[in-house]
Amino acid sequence: MSELTQDVSALKGVGEALSGKLGRLGVASIADLLFHLPLRYQDRTRVTPIGTLRAGHEAVVQGEVAACDVIKGRRRSLLVRLTDGSGILSLRFFHFSPAQQQQFQPGTRVHAFGEARAGATGLEIYHPEYRLIKAGEAVVDEHLTPLYPTTEGLNQARLRGLIDQAMRLLHEAPAALPDWIPTSLRERFQLPELHAALDYLHHPPPEADLEQLKAGTHPTQRRLALEELLAHQLSLRVVRQRIQADGAPPLPSGRSLQARFVSKLPFSLTGAQRRVLDEIGRDIERAVPMLRLVQGDVGSGKTVVAAMAALTAIAGGCQVAMMAPTELLAEQHYRTFKDWFEPLGIEVAWLAGKLKGKARLDTKAALADGRIQLVVGTHALFQADVHFQCLGLAIIDEQHRFGVHQRLALREKGEAAGLTPHQLVMTATPIPRTLAMSAYADLDVSVIDELPPGRTPVQTVAVPDERRPEVVARIERACAEGRQAYWVCTLIEESEALQCQAAEATHESLTEALPGLAIGLVHGRMKAGEKAEVMAAFKDGELDLLIATTVIEVGVDVPNASLMIIENPERLGLSQLHQLRGRVGRGATESFCVLLYHPPLSAHSRERLGVMRETTDGFRIAEKDLELRGPGEVLGTRQTGLAAMKIADLERDRDLLERVGPLAKALLEESPASSAPLIRRWLGEEAGRYGQV
C-alpha cells in the first residue's frame, strides 16, 4: 500500500536491534511512530534571562563564563560561573575531562539547557546540555521539544529523529494516512483534523499551553483519544454484527416447563426478575442470537433467571451450557441445577478441566448425542474437543472474565446444527452507565434492580486484629444458635500458594480455639472433588464454620450462613469486598460482616472500610471503587483492551465516553467503510479482520 504501512526497518538506519527496541514500545510500522506521542515537552524556543530563573525550571540560558574552577569538596566537581547581566548561575559537572575544563575560558559564550536547582553556590544546573557559541548567534528551536516514552538503549535524539523521518514521509504522501473521521463528523463533533493533530503534538508551536499538553487535555490529544475509544467501540459493535449475522434457533416458549419449575420454588419471582425474563424471552424467540448482559447486585437472584432462560431453551429442544469462572462455582451451580432440574426430567452434567479419563469421554459423548440437556462447567466447556448436538443457549456467569474472543469462539459451538447459540451473560459488577456503554458495546443490558423481599442489610463492623479473641467468641455464639459462618483469608502478596497456607494455618488455630464446632477448609489448591465435598457439607449444615480463601468470592450461596469474618480486608478492592460480603445476608436472619484489619490503616484504607460500613448498595460501592482505583482495575481482566489503551485514559477521558457512542453511530451511518481501517489502526490486523463483516 503505502510507505507508512511498512515495517520500521524500512527507515534509514533501522536495523534488527533498533526495530527490536521499537517493538518494545509497541512500534512496528512507520505509521506506529506517528502515533507514538510525547510524554511531555521542553521549551527550548527562547532564552531565559538568568535573573528570572527559579529552582525547578527547565530552561535555555546564554551567558559569558566569569570563572571556572575545580572544587575539591566531598565530590570533586567542575564549577562554571555564568553571567548574562541579569544574574549569575553555576554549571556543575561531576564528570569532566581536562579538555572540557580548558573550554570554559573566562569570556567564552555558552548556550546551555537544563533544570535549575538550589545548589551550594545559589542556582546551579548539573550536567547541562551545552555548546559554545559566538556572540549574537541564535540557536533556539522553532518548536517545543518533545520527550517520548522510550526504552533502554534508545535515546530521545534517536527516537525523535525516527519520528521526524516518519513525519516527513507523511508530508510527502498525506493520503497514506487517511483521516477516517470524515469532515462532516469532525465539524459536528468539533474535532481537529488528524494530520494537523499529529503535526501539533510532535512539533508544538512555542506558544502552546504546556500545562494542558502535560495533562493530556489539549484538543488534539482529545481527538486522538476519542479516535482510539471509537475504534474499540466499533470493534465491539462489529463483533456483535458478526455474531448476529448468523442464525440462532428461535426459542418461542417454555412456559409450561417454567411454570412447573416456579411452582416448586419456595418464593415467587421479584418484579425485576420477571421484567428481565421478559426481555430475555423477547430476544430468544427470534432467529438472531441474543447478546444480553444481565447486571444484578449480589443476591439479586440471577441464578433463577438463568434457570428460567435455560428451561425455555430445553423446552425448545436445545441444549444449554452454563459457564462459571471457577470450578468451585461451577460445582455449586451444578448442584443447584441438578436439584432444580432433575425432578423435571432434565439431564444435567458437569464438565471442567479436572474431569478426566472415562468420565470425561462419557460426558463428551452424551453432549454430542444430545442426552445431556444442561451442562455446567468452566472454560473447559468451550474447548475445541467439546461438541454439542444442538447448543441453543450459552449462559456465562460473572462475565468480567469472559472476553470478545471467547464470545466469537462460541459461535462454533452451534456447529452441528449450523446455528449460533444465544448468549446470556450475568454479572454482579455494577458499573456506571457511561462506562458500561463503552465496555459492553457488544451487548444489550438488563438490570435486576431489586433484591428479593425480606432481606435485612448486612451489618458491617471494622475491628482491629488484636480483638481477634472477641471475634472468635462471637463465632461460637452464632454457631451455638444454629447459624453458620465464613472466615475468609485474603490474598497475601498476590500469591495463591501463600493464601492457601494462611487458610490452612487459620484452620488449625481455629480448630484448636473452637473445639465444639465442626470446621471446614476450602482453598484453590484442593482437588475439585474435595472442594465440592466441603462445600456440600457446609451447605447441608454439617459444618458450622468454613475457612476459605477468596475462591468463595463469587456465587457461593448458603442462605443459613449469617456471619462472615474477612481477614485483612484492607488488601482487597471494594468491589471484591462487596462480592465476598454478598455471601451472607442471603436468608431472612440478620447477618454480620466483620472486617478484621491489621492496624495501622492508611487514610485510603480507612476510607474504603468506611464505605463498606456505610452502604450495601453495589452501585454506590462501584462508583466509589471507580473513584479510588480507576476503571482499569474495576473492569478487571475482561476489558484488558479498554484498560490498556495507547492514548486514551478512561479516568482522564471519562467525559469522552459519552461522545463515543453517538460518534460510532454517526460514523457507521455516514462512512461505514471507515470502520474496518479504524479498528485496524488502533487494535491491529487481527481485530481489523473482524471488521470485514
616 binds ligand ADP (CB under 6 A): no
Determine if 325 is a binding residue for ligand ADP (CB under 6 A): no
Q: Which is nearer to Mg ion, 292 or 302 (CB)?
A: 302
Q: Who's near 665: CB < 8 A, 6+ residues apart?
A: none
Q: State the cell numbers at 643.
A: 484498560
- To ligand ADP, the closest distance from the beta carbon of 580 in angstroms equals 12
User: What 3-state DSSP class applies to 5?
Assistant: helix
Name the minimum Å distance from CB 445 to ligand ADP. 15
Q: Can you read off the three cell numbers belonging to residue 68?
A: 571556572
Contact region with ligand ADP (CB under 6 A), list: 132-140, 162-170, 521-529, 554-562: 554-562
Pick from 161, 524, 559, 573 the residue near ligand ADP by CB under 6 A.
Answer: 559
DSSP letters for 185-240: HHHHTT---HHHHHHHHHS--TTS-HHHHHHT-SHHHHHHHHHHHHHHHHHHHHHH
Is residue 460 within the footprint of ligand ADP (CB under 6 A)? no
CB of 304 to Mg ion, least distance (A): 10
- Cell 450459552 -> residue: 394
* Residue 446 C-beta: closest distance to ligand ADP, Å: 13
- Rounded-to-integer distance, Cα 488 and Cα 565, Å: 6
Question: Please, which residue, 342 or 508, has the CB nearer to ligand ADP?
Answer: 342
Q: How many residues bind Mg ion (CB under 5 A)?
A: 2
Grid coordinates belonging to 571: 488488601
Q: How far is CA 152 from the centre of its chain?
A: 27
Residue 605 near residue 462, CB atoms below 8 Å: no
Residue 455 Cβ vs ligand ADP, minimum distance, rounded to whole Å: 8
Question: Shortest gap between Cβ of 531 and ligand ADP (angstroms)?
Answer: 18
Contact call for residue 636 and Mg ion (CB under 5 A): no
Is there binding between residue 555 and Mg ion (CB under 5 A)? yes
Residue placing its CB nearer to ligand ADP in the complex, 306 or 642: 306
The binder of 462, among ligand ADP, Mg ion, none, by C-beta within 5 to 8 A per type, is: none
Is residue 294 a contact partner of residue 302, using CB atoms and an 8 Å limit?
Answer: yes
According to CB under 5 A, which residues from 55 to 94 bind Mg ion? none
Q: How does DSSP assign 541-573, residue by residue?
A: TS-SEEEE-GGGSSS---TTEEEEEEESGGGS-
Least spacing, CB of residue 399 vs ligand ADP, in Å: 12
Residues 293-312 that bind Mg ion (CB under 5 A): 302
Alpha helices in 481-558 (DSSP H): 496-513, 528-539
Q: Does 270 bind ligand ADP (CB under 6 A)?
A: yes
Q: Choosing among ligand ADP, Mg ion, none, which partner's interface includes residue 270 (Cβ < 5 to 8 Å by kind)?
A: ligand ADP
CB of 376 to ligand ADP, least distance (A): 14
- In sequence order, which residues have a C-beta less than 8 Å from that of residue 217 and are 6 or more positions away? 652
Task: Tell me the C-alpha distance between 457 and 332, whole Å.
Answer: 24
332 binds, among Mg ion, ligand ADP, none (CB under 5 to 8 A by kind): none
Residues 280 to 309 in contact with ligand ADP, rule: CB under 6 A: 296, 298-304
- Is residue 322 a contact partner of residue 395, using CB atoms and an 8 Å limit? yes
Q: Does 273 bind ligand ADP (CB under 6 A)?
A: yes
- Number of residues that make up the chain: 693
What does the DSSP 8-state code read for residue 155? -
Cβ-based nearer residue to ligand ADP, 221 or 336: 336
Residue 630: what are its φ and ψ, rounded to 5°? 85, 160
Whole-angstrom Cα distance, residue 321 to residue 323? 6
- Tell me the residue nearest to ligand ADP as measured from the CB: 301
In the complex, what is the shortest distance from the CB of residue 343 to ligand ADP, in angstroms, rounded to a whole number? 16
When binding is defined by CB under 6 A, the residue of 249, 281, 452, 641 that contacts ligand ADP is 452
Quick one: which segment of 238-246, 249-257, 268-276, 521-529 binds ligand ADP (CB under 6 A)?
A: 268-276
Query: Residues 220 to 239: which contact ligand ADP by CB under 6 A?
Result: none
Cβ neighbour number for residue 329 with a 10 Å cutoff: 23
Q: Which residues pair with 504 in a beta bridge?
A: none
Residues of this chain that interact with ligand ADP (CB under 6 A) are 267, 269-270, 273, 296, 298-304, 428, 452, 555, 557, 559, 582, 586
Residues that bind Mg ion (CB under 5 A): 302, 555
